[in-house]
C-alpha cells in the first residue's frame, strides 16, 4: 500500500462504517453565508447537497445533507474533515490527490489521512462516482468562490 | 417440467462460463434484459452473411425473401399474442411503442378536461410520455390508488375512472413488485367508460401467456430484448380500428402510398404506416427466432417455473434472517428486497463482488416511498434459465450481508 501510515483493511472498514453510521458533517446549515451545490447520480441513488462556508480564502465550514450510500456518505464526510480550516489552495490540492488516487494515478498520500480508505474503490468500477461526487461538487464550489 | 440445465446449453452466455469479479456469473437481472439463445444470434448473423437486402425496395429474390420473413415475423407474433398480423407494428421497444400511442393517438384525440389514468407503480416509460401528452393537450393525469400491498385492483380503478377518462395506461406486470394486474376485469371497467386501455407488457409478455383478445386491451407494448431477442426491436399491438385512427409518429420512406409537390400525401394502412425508414431488419428476424424459441418452451411452463422460483427465493431469503422482502406475495419472478442495515447500492456492489448481477435503485421512486417506506431496494428477477443454485448463491450472499465492505477489500 503506497502510504506511510500503517493501516490495515480492518481499520479501513471501520473508518468507512464509522463515518457512515455517525457522519460528523451531515447537516443542512441554518445559518447564512453558505453556498451549495447539488450532487446526484444517474446510476446510484445518491442525491445530496454539499455546503461550503468560506471566508478570506479559507474553508470555514463544509457540510452535506441528503440521501447517500455508504461509500458516498463516508467519502463526503471525510472530505469535510479534510478541508475545514484549509485555504482554497490547500483544499484543492487535497481533492486533487484524492481524485488521482481513485483514478489510480500517482498521488500524494501524505495529505489524505482517513480518505486513504477509498484506495480500492476501483475494484467496484460502478461505484467510483459514489466515492467522488461529493469531492467534485466541493471542488466546483471552491473554484466558483475563487473567481 | 422445464429443465434449465438443458436450456442453458442453448445460451452462449452460459456455455462460455462468463465470470464477473472472477466468480461464475449469476444473472438475476432478467427484468432488465435477458440472454440470447443461439437461434436468435444465428438469425441475426444469417441476415448479414446470407440474406442481406432491404425490404419492399426491389423486385429481386433476396428482397422478396426478406419481405416474406418480415411477414412471417408478424404472423408469428400474431400467433404469440392472438391478434392479426396487420395489428403488429415493429418499434424500437416498449418505450418506442408507448410513445407512438401517446403522440400518434393521445395527442391527436385528447383535449382539455380529459383524463389519463396511471398508477404509481408504472415504469417511467409509461409515465413520462403521458405527462407530455397532458402538457400538449391540456388533459390531466390522475393516479389510481394502489392497495396496501401495492396492487392495482378493479375496485380502485372503478372508484377513480370517470366519463372524462380517455386513456388508462398500466403495466400488466409491474417492474418493481411483480404483481400481475387483473387486466380482463380492468378492461371491462375501462370500456364501460368509453376509455382506451394501453397495456405495458414489457414485464408480462416474456413471462406469462398473453392473449390480447381475452384481455381485451386496446394497445399492448413489449420489447424483444426482454424475451431473449435482440435489443432495439419491440412491438406495438393495437386493435386495427384504433391503429387506423392513429397518426404516424415518424414520416418518411416506406410508410406513404403517394405524395406530390402540392402537399397531397396518402399514408399506407397500418402497420406499415408506422414503420418509416429502413426497419431494424436484423432485429425483426432475431425477434422471430426468440418468439419461436419461447413458444417452443411454452409460456405456461415458463410461468409455472418462475412461480416456483419465486416461492423458493422468498423461502431461502427469509431463512437467512437477514433480508427484508417487499413483495413476498406477488406472482411474477421478481423479488424486491433489502439486506438488513445495508444500503441498496452497497448491497448490489457486494453482490457484484460475488458475481451476482442484481439491480439496485429506486426503480420507481413514488411507489417505494409511499408503499415500501424505503428509499431504495435491490431487485432479483428470474427467467426460465434461472436455477435454484442461482438463488442459493443470492441467499448465501444475503446471509453474509454484514460483510458488504468485502467488495472493496477482498
Task: Determine which helix (DSSP H) or strand (DSSP E) holds A11, and give its type and residue range.
Answer: helix A9-21
Question: In the prediction, which pLDDT does A5 show?
Answer: 56
**B235 near B54, Cβ under 8 Å?**
no
Question: In the prediction, which pLDDT does A1 show?
Answer: 47
Residue with the larger pLDDT of the pair B196 and B266: B196
The CA distance from A74 to the nearest CA of chain B, in Å, is 12
Q: How far is CA B405 from CA A15, B44, B208, B353, in A?
A: 11, 42, 38, 10
Question: In the prediction, which pLDDT does B264 show?
Answer: 81
Question: In the prediction, which pLDDT does B265 show?
Answer: 82
Q: What is the pLDDT of residues B283-332, one digit of tens each?
A: 999 999 999 999 999 999 999 999 999 999 999 999 999 999 999 999 99
Q: What is the DSSP string of B170-236?
A: EESB-TTT-PBP-HHHHHHHHHHTT-EEEEE-TTTTTTS---HHHHT-SEEEEESGGGTS-TT-EEE
Q: Does A76 touch chain B (CB under 8 A)?
A: no
**B338 near B363, Cβ under 8 Å?**
no
Number of other residues whose CB lies within 10 A of the CB of residue A5: 12
The CA distance from B13 to the nearest CA of chain A, in Å, is 21
Cβ pair A45:B362 closer than 8 A? yes
The alpha carbon of B109 is separated from its chain's Cα centroid by a whole number of angstroms, namely 26
Cβ pair B408:A120 closer than 8 A? yes
Question: In the prediction, which pLDDT does A43 show?
Answer: 67
Which residue out of A127, A129, A133 would a mutagenesis test of the B interface target, given it has the greatest number of B Cβ atoms within 10 Å? Answer: A127
Cβ pair B343:A9 closer than 8 A? no
Q: What is the pLDDT of residues B355-399, one digit of tens each?
A: 999 999 876 666 677 778 888 899 999 999 999 999 999 999 999
Q: Which of A12, A13, A124 is closest, CB to CB, to B349?
A: A124
Cβ pair A120:B405 closer than 8 A? no
> Is A18 buried (19+), middle (13-18) or exposed (0-12) by CB count in 10 A?
middle
How many angstroms separate the CA atoms of A80 and A50, rounded? 9
Cβ pair A127:B349 closer than 8 A? yes
Bridge partner residues of B267 (DSSP): B256
Q: What is the mean pLDDT of residues B58-74?
A: 92
> Is B216 buried (19+), middle (13-18) or exposed (0-12) by CB count in 10 A?
middle
Which residue out of A13, A69, A73, A104 would a mutagenesis test of the B interface target, given it has the greatest number of B Cβ atoms within 10 Å? Answer: A69
Q: How far is CA B323 from CA B149, B284, B319, B395, B400, in A?
A: 18, 41, 9, 9, 11
Question: In the prediction, which pLDDT does B213 show?
Answer: 98
- ipTM comes to 0.85
Cβ pair B343:A130 closer than 8 A? no
Cβ pair B360:A16 closer than 8 A? no
Q: Does A127 touch chain B (CB under 8 A)?
A: yes
What is the pLDDT confidence band of residue B257, given thresholds at 50, 70 and 90?
confident
Chain B residues with CB under 8 Å of A67 CB are 375
pLDDT over 60 at B210, yes or no: yes
The CA distance from B103 to the nearest CA of chain A, in Å, is 26
Sequence-ordered list of residues with C-beta below 8 angstroms from that of A51, at least 6 positions apart, any chain: A28, A29, A34, A35, A36, A61, A62, A63, A64, A65
The alpha carbon of A44 is separated from its chain's Cα centroid by a whole number of angstroms, namely 17
The CA distance from A4 to the nearest CA of chain B, in Å, is 19
Angle CA A110–A116–A122, to nearest 5: 130
**Beta-strand relationship, B165-171 and B196-200:** parallel
Q: What is the pLDDT of residues B73-100, one digit of tens each?
A: 999 999 999 999 999 999 999 999 999 9
Q: Which of A46, A69, A120 is closest, CB to CB, to B409?
A: A120
Q: What is the pLDDT of residues A68-86, one digit of tens each?
A: 999 999 999 999 999 999 9
How many angstroms separate the CA atoms of B97 and B88, rounded? 11
Q: What does the buried/exposed string (b/e) look like for B227-255 if buried means 16 or more CB atoms within 10 Å of the residue's CB?
A: bbbbbbbbbbbbbeebbeebebbeeeebb
How many angstroms separate the CA atoms of B128 and B125, rounded? 6
Active-site positions of B? 364
Question: In the prediction, which pLDDT does B364 show?
Answer: 62
Q: What is the pLDDT of residues A9-53, one digit of tens each?
A: 899 999 999 999 999 999 999 999 999 999 987 766 889 999 999
Which residue out of B349, B350, B357, B362 would a mutagenesis test of the A interface target, given it has the greatest number of A Cβ atoms within 10 Å? Answer: B349
Residue with the larger pLDDT of the pair B258 and B136: B136
Going through B67-139 in order, the beta strands assigned E by DSSP cover 88-91, 115-119
Angle CA B208–B299–B314, to nearest 5: 60
Amino acid at each position: 500500500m503506497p502510504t506511510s501510515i500503517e493501516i490495515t483493511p480492518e481499520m479501513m472498514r471501520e473508518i468507512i462504517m464509522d463515518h457512515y453510521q455517525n457522519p460528523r458533517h451531515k447537516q443542512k446549515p441554518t445559518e447564512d453565508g453558505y453556498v451549495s451545490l447539488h450532487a446526484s447520480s444517474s446510476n446510484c441513488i445518491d442525491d445530496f447537497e454539499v455546503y461550503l462556508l468560506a471566508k478570506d480564502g479559507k474553508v470555514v465550514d463544509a457540510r452535506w445533507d441528503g440521501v447517500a450510500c455508504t461509500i458516498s456518505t463516508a467519502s463526503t464526510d471525510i472530505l469535510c474533515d479534510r478541508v475545514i480550516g484549509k485555504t482554497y489552495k490547500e483544499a484543492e490540492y487535497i481533492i486533487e490527490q484524492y481524485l488521482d488516487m481513485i483514478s489510480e494515478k500517482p498521488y500524494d498520500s501524505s495529505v489524505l489521512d482517513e480518505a486513504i480508505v477509498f484506495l480500492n474503490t476501483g475494484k467496484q468500477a460502478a461505484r467510483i462516482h459514489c466515492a467522488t461526487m461529493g469531492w467534485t461538487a466541493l471542488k466546483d464550489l471552491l473554484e466558483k468562490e475563487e473567481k | 417440467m422445464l429443465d434449465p440445465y438443458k436450456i442453458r446449453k442453448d445460451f452462449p452466455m452460459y456455455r462460455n462460463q462468463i465470470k464477473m469479479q472472477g466468480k461464475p456469473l449469476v444473472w438475476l437481472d432478467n427484468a432488465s434484459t435477458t440472454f440470447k439463445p443461439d437461434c436468435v444470434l444465428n438469425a441475426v448473423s444469417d441476415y448479414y452473411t446470407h440474406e442481406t437486402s432491404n425490404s419492399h425496395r426491389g423486385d429481386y429474390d433476396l428482397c422478396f425473401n426478406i419481405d416474406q420473413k418480415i411477414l412471417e415475423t408478424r404472423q408469428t407474433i400474431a400467433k404469440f399474442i392472438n391478434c392479426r398480423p396487420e395489428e403488429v407494428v415493429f418499434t424500437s421497444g416498449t418505450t418506442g411503442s408507448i410513445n407512438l400511442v401517446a403522440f400518434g393517438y393521445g395527442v391527436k384525440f385528447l383535449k382539455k378536461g380529459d383524463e389519463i389514468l396511471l398508477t404509481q407503480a408504472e415504469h417511467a416509460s409509461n409515465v413520462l410520455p403521458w405527462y407530455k401528452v397532458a402538457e400538449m393537450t391540456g388533459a390531466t393525469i390522475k393516479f389510481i390508488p394502489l392497495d396496501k400491498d401495492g396492487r392495482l385492483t378493479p375496485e380502485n380503478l372503478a372508484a377513480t375512472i370517470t366519463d372524462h377518462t380517455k386513456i388508462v395506461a398500466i403495466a400488466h406486470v409491474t417492474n418493481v413488485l411483480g404483481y400481475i394486474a387483473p387486466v380482463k376485469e380492468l378492461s371491462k371497467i375501462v370500456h364501460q367508460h368509453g376509455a382506451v386501455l394501453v397495456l405495458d407488457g414489457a414485464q408480462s409478455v416474456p413471462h406469462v401467456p398473453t392473449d390480447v383478445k381475452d384481455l381485451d386491451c386496446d394497445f399492448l407494448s413489449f420489447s424483444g430484448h426482454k424475451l431473449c431477442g435482440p435489443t432495439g426491436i419491440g412491438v406495438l399491438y393495437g386493435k386495427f380500428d384504433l391503429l387506423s385512427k392513429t397518426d404516424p409518429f415518424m414520416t418518411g420512406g416506406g410508410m406513404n402510398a403517394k405524395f406530390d409537390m402540392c402537399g397531397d400525401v396518402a399514408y399506407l394502412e397500418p402497420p406499415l404506416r408506422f414503420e418509416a425508414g429502413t426497419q431494424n431488419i436484423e432485429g425483426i428476424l432475431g425477434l422471430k427466432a426468440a418468439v419461436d424459441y419461447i413458444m417452443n418452451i411454452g409460456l405456461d411452463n415458463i410461468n409455472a417455473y418462475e412461480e416456483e422460483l419465486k416461492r423458493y427465493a422468498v423461502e431461502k431469503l427469509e431463512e437467512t434472517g437477514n433480508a427484508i422482502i417487499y413483495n413476498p406475495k406477488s406472482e411474477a419472478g421478481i423479488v424486491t428486497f433489502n439486506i438488513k442495515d445495508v444500503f441498496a447500492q452497497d448491497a448490489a456492489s457486494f453482490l457484484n463482488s460475488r458475481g451476482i448481477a442484481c439491480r439496485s435503485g429506486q426503480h420507481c421512486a413514488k411507489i417505494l416511498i409511499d408503499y415500501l417506506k424505503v428509499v431504495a431496494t435491490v431487485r432479483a428477477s428470474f427467467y426460465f434459465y434461472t436455477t435454484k443454485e442461482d438463488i442459493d448463491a443470492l441467499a448465501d450472499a444475503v446471509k453474509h450481508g454484514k460483510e458488504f465492505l468485502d467488495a472493496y477489500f477482498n
